Structure formats: C-alpha cells, structure tokens
Amino acid sequence: MATAHQHTHEEHGHANDHTEQRHHDEDWHDGAFVQQWLARTKAREAERRRHFVALRAFIPKYPDQELRYLNLGTGPGNLDVVLLEHFPGANAIVLDTSLAMLNAARKELAAFGDRVEYARADLSTADWLGTVAGPFDFVISARTIHNLSEPRRIRELYREIRGLTGHGGTFLNLDYVRPAKAELAHLGGWVTRDSEARFVGTSHDVTLLPGTLQEHLGWLGEAGFNTVEVYWKEMDLALISGINGHLHMPWDHGDDPVRGHDHGHAH
C-alpha cells in the first residue's frame, strides 16, 4: 500500500496537524499563533482531507452502525468532521493539550452537538488517562504522537491506548516515521524532480523522528495488540494499526459478506 510522498511538514503536533509544537517559535497555546496556523492550512485542505479519508476507509463499520472513538490530538477538528459526517452513528471524545485548538474544534464540530465531548490533556504523561473513560471501539491519532519525541514515552502511550480498547478495538495512527536507513531521507527531495509525478518533498529532517515504521509496529506488539499492520504509507507518513483481539467486520453481526450491504460499500 506504499505510494509516494505528497505533503509538507508544517503540521500541528498533538492535534491532527500541529507537529512542531516543541520548536521555540511555535506556541500552540497562543490564540493568535493558532489562528495564523489555521489560515495557512487552508492551502492544504484537499491534501489533508485525502489523508483523513484514507484513515476513515479503514474503519470497518457501516455508516448507520454505532461506534465510539477517541481522537488523541483533535486540533481544529477537521478529521472529526470527516468521520462524524460519514458515520452518523458515531460518538467521539476529542482531546488536545491546546485550549486554542480545542476552541477551534468546538466551532468546527458545533453541528454535531452532544455527539462530541471535549477533553484537554497532555499526552507526555499518563495523567491524560484521567480525562477519558473507555472502552472505545477506535482510538485514532493523526500527526501527533511523534511529537512526544522519546521512544520510551511512545511505548508507554501505546500500552495506555491498548488499555482503553475493548475486544476488537482498534488503534489507528496516522503519523510520521523515520526512514529505515538515513540514506533514504535523500529521496524526499529527489522525487520532486519528476514534476509529472506531483510529489512534494519534505521540509523537515526525517532522520530526527522518534521511530521507524518497523519500530512502531514492534512497540504496538509490545503494548499487547494482537495484530499490528501498516495499512498505508507515503514516504515518511504512515497509517499503522493495532487491534485488540481480532478484527471485527460488519458481517460479524449477521451480514452476508458475499451479498454485501444495502449501503453499497465494499467491505
């Protein structure tokens, strides 16, 4: 499922998109800075939505089925719009450490009313667990967890997430991963030479990311997820998954996988 890289790295760290939180010139608790960031991201709306829809595609639920999910790093709520519009039976808890981003999310998600709960917490310690209560059918995160920087803390977080999922519960993590070898980082710039391919090079040092794809999959296994997989990848951006128990498909509840479902979705 590997395709080429088509994004830049000006993203919000523990929300869907504010990735450089720890950089000295970025303050995600500053309302003015957040508003500037939101304005800049307008130019990447189509690209970001494509990534969010790719994540949504790997949620094996029919739109009218009920599901409960937790978003670790909601940012302005764009990913949640993609999910809640498609799954009218979904309810969400959206979490972020930035009050400014949560305020933006409240505006973006206001139409969904009490289907959405908001939580403010910092993922850098296990204290965040006190703000939510499982189990969840899905825990999702987009361009957030790599900002923890320390592999040890990421491994701890994966165990904490595993504890919030019930049997068949799934963790979907869309995030940046370090190349398996540093020499591969050069491809991020090289692929832009072929204009017809429409690849966009990276504007960050991918060798500084806290884990390779293989390492992240290993950490998910260590956390107790029975099945770990990479569903989708574009250079350093990957969608990885951990499943607690075994995968639950819609036809586990009586649908015929051959005849399909009235909604016309291929499952």
Domain of 183, CATH number, reads: 3.40.50.150
The model carries a pTM of 0.84
- The tens digit of pLDDT for each residue in 105-134 reads 999 999 999 999 999 999 999 999 999 999
What pLDDT was estimated at residue 234?
Answer: 83
Query: For the residues 91-103, what does the mean pLDDT come to?
Result: 94
pLDDT top residue among 31 and 248? 248
* DSSP secondary structure, 63-118, as one string: TTS-EEEEEE--TTSHHHHHHHHH-TTEEEEEEES-HHHHHHHHHHTGGGGGGEEE
Could you give the CA distance from residue 215 to residue 178 in angstroms, rounded to a whole number? 9
Per the domain annotation, does 129 fall within a domain?
A: yes
What is the mean predicted confidence (pLDDT) over 160-179? 96
pLDDT in tens, 37-82: 787 877 777 888 899 999 999 999 999 999 999 999 999 999 999 9
Q: Which amino acid is at 132?
A: V
Q: Do 187 and 235 meet the contact criterion of CB atoms below 8 Å apart?
A: yes
Residues ≥6 apart with Cβ < 8 Å to 96? 14, 15, 73, 74, 75, 102, 105, 120
* pLDDT value of residue 136: 98
DSSP state, residue 224: T
- Please tell me the predicted confidence (pLDDT) of residue 56: 97
44 lies in a domain?
yes
Looking at residue 22, what is its pLDDT?
44
Structure tokens at 69: 């999910």
Q: For residue 114, tell me if it sits in a domain.
A: yes
The reply to whether 182 falls in a domain is yes
- pLDDT tens for residues 226-242? 999 999 998 888 999 99
Strand partners, 18: 12
CA distance 249 to 247: 6
Give how many domains the chain has, as a whole number. 1
Rounded percentage of the chain residues whose pLDDT exceeds 70 = 82
pLDDT of residue 197: 82
Q: Does the residue 258 lie in any domain?
A: no
Q: What was the pLDDT predicted at 40?
A: 81
Is 259 contained in some domain?
Answer: no
Cβ atoms 113, 40 nearer than 8 A:
no
Given this model, what pLDDT does residue 140 score? Answer: 98
pLDDT at 254: 59
Supply the range of the domain harboring residue 67: 2-253
Poorest-pLDDT segment among 24-38, 51-65, 169-183, 223-237? 24-38
